[in-house]
Amino acid sequence: MLNDEEQAVCRDYKVDLQERLKKFIRMSVENTLPLKIIQDSSFFRLRMEEMKWVFGNWELICISIVLGWLFYKYLIVPKWGLGDNQEEECRRSRLQPPRGSSGWPLIGETIEFIASGFTSHPVSFMEKRKSLYGKVFKTHILGRPIIVSTDPDVNKVVLQNQGNVFIPSYPKSVIELLGESSILQINGGLQKRLHAIIGGFLRSPQFKARITKDIENSVKLALSSWIDRKNTHHPIVYLQDETKKITFQILVRVLMSVEAGEDMEFLKREFMEVIKGLICLPIKLPGFRMYKSLQAKERMLKMVRKIVNDRKIAMEKKETKDSGSPNDAIDVLLRDTGESDGTQQRLPLDFISGNIIEMMIPGEDSVPMIMTLAVKYLSDNPLALSCLMEENDELKKRKDESGEGYAWTDYVSLPFTQGVISETLRMANIINAIWRKALEDVEIKGYLIPKGWCVLASLTSVHMDEENYENPDEFDPWRWEKTGASVNSNKFTPFGGGQRLCPGLEFSRLEISIFLHHFVTSYTWVAEEDQIVYFPTVKTKRKLPIMVTPR
């Protein structure tokens, strides 16, 4: 039995404890409990015996359950992220889409965006907003609201595309021209399959060995024709046009084995019509640019369909014989039986024909522009040019002395030459950004990308950021000596990344290396004054006029 004094103490405890519990429950409801618990550890200074006096055993068990549950909800769940959907929603609701401005009604900030492309500093649009709102911001350009990322980590997540939450989202005119089943637009298993087939083919040593000879022949032929011009009325070589001629023929040979001649000329003419529609009003009515481009694509398709059908018939005839290594992209696409992805289905002929044309789009302009711009940067930087010449002269001497032909590995193993290519890709890549759309709300590095929003992962902004590259406006091929020139890190992504990393990466580097080698080892040149413009895509204003002389 308790005496009076003890009973009074006990009564006080009971009142005190009831008060504390009321406070506990009130704070739990108001969600301030975890903070208070840390501030007020006296809350726990009750001893078990004292509690037994006040409540008895059953009450104690109930309180333990309630306490346990509250602990779980307010301390463990937020700390360790074991939360239920509600918690997740609550956290997401606190996240905001990136800051930024929508600019003027309808046109948004398009004028400023385009104007920056005509200056010598095209990333000025991005830089201004980056300084106002941070590395990820929202804007309104080219007819739609868009979130721009200039952050290499955010770009990486967008490109890696774990969980397939981002799909390609090009401007309307590009979507119209590409068509629904283009590799650049499709998603999921079919894109992976097509990517693997084409990438596997373009990366294979057999392909590289064969294409090296083809590229050498085309480059040497073109270079000698430039010299022949010297004694005519048109001695100037417009490098931007001339490199396009070389690379277009090689690309068409790689994709469908069409040789120089009438068919090649037809394809070139029609393809030029097609790509004029890439940036235009997406109106498919006679007289409009889009209509003309779609008509040209249809004419090309007619020709490519015939090539694909003929090849299919020829393949079926010699099905039982060993058909050898594939000659071109049509071969590899026709041969694929769908075993790798378990579909066990061959690709439809129309799908192959369409994709052969659509794959010309990323491949056509990019390689000749890098060749042209490398020559431009080298013309403005005699020291870099002399280092490049020295490295390539050495290789040539070795080959002349041994009497051996060049292997593809000879070209791509020259470190300074690869540095020149990487530096050109860094400073003026033709694909300066990657367009995606979020299929659901995505949080990256604390930024919310709301469902349905378009994301522009700006590659050039990362390449021209002084946080990532010292003196980013300087052409400095030596900077790659430390990292290795062929690196594709978060901060250097001229070929994209993740599931859609350019399958033509190694082939492009090989082609550019071969061109540079034969150009600098056999010729010298004088370039006229020219400027680089960055909109709608990177090009030189005067097509880089040069006068070429044999060495």
Q: Which segments are annotated as binding site for heme?
A: 502
**Alpha-carbon span 98 to 139, nearest angstrom:** 10
Q: Does residue 367 bind ligand HEM (CB under 6 A)? A: yes
User: To the nearest whole angstrom, how small is the minimum distance from the Cβ of residue 334 to ligand HEM?
Assistant: 17
Q: Is 171 in the site for ligand HEM (CB under 6 A)?
A: no
Query: Quick one: how far is CA 302 from the chain centroid?
Result: 31
Please identify, among the stretches 14-22, 280-288, 407-415, 426-434, the one whose residues bind ligand HEM according to the rule CB under 6 A. 426-434
Number of residues lying near ligand HEM (CB under 6 A): 25
Binder among 208, 297, 437, 500 for ligand HEM (CB under 6 A): 500
User: DSSP H helical segments within 318-430, as ranges?
Assistant: 329-335, 349-358, 360-364, 366-379, 382-402, 408-412, 415-428
Residue nearest to ligand HEM (CB): 504
243 binds ligand HEM (CB under 6 A): no
Question: With 0-12 CB in 10 A as exposed, 13-18 as middle and 19+ as buried, what is 408?
Answer: buried
Cα(431)–Cα(428) distance, integer angstroms: 9
User: Which tokens sit at 240?
Assistant: 């931007």
Position among 211, 434, 438, 455 found at the interface with ligand HEM (CB under 6 A)? 434
Segment interacting with ligand HEM, rule: CB under 6 A, options 118-126, 282-290, 344-352, 488-496: 488-496
Among 155, 379, 508, 521, binds ligand HEM (CB under 6 A): 508
Comparison of 28 and 161: residue with beta carbon closer to ligand HEM? 161
DSSP 76: I
Neighbours of 313 (CB within 10 A): 8
Select from 125, 351, 475, 495 the one that contacts ligand HEM (CB under 6 A). 495
Q: Which is nearer to ligand HEM, 253 or 543 (CB)?
A: 253
Q: Please tell me the distance from the alpha carbon of residue 241 to that of residue 155, in angstroms, as a whole number.
A: 33
Contact residue for ligand HEM among 100, 108, 152, 496 (CB under 6 A) = 496
Instruction: Using CB under 6 A, pick the residue from 150, 191, 240, 461 that binds ligand HEM.
Output: 191
Alpha carbon distance 453, 138 (integer Å): 10
* Cis-peptide into 536, omega within 30 deg: yes
| Residue number with CB closer to ligand HEM (307 or 370) | 370
Cα 205 to Cα 189: distance, rounded to the nearest angstrom? 26
Query: For residue 168, which phi and psi values (nearest 5 degrees)?
Result: -60, 145
* Residue 359 makes contact with ligand HEM by CB under 6 A: yes
**Contact flag: residue 427 with ligand HEM (CB under 6 A):** no
Specify the residue for token string 């020559």. 375
Phi, psi of 149 (to 5 degrees): -115, 130
State the nearest-atom distance from the C-beta of 231 to ligand HEM, in Å.
34
| Contacting positions for ligand HEM (CB under 6 A) | 168, 183-184, 191, 195, 198, 254, 359, 362-363, 366-367, 370, 429, 431, 434, 494-496, 500, 502-504, 507-508
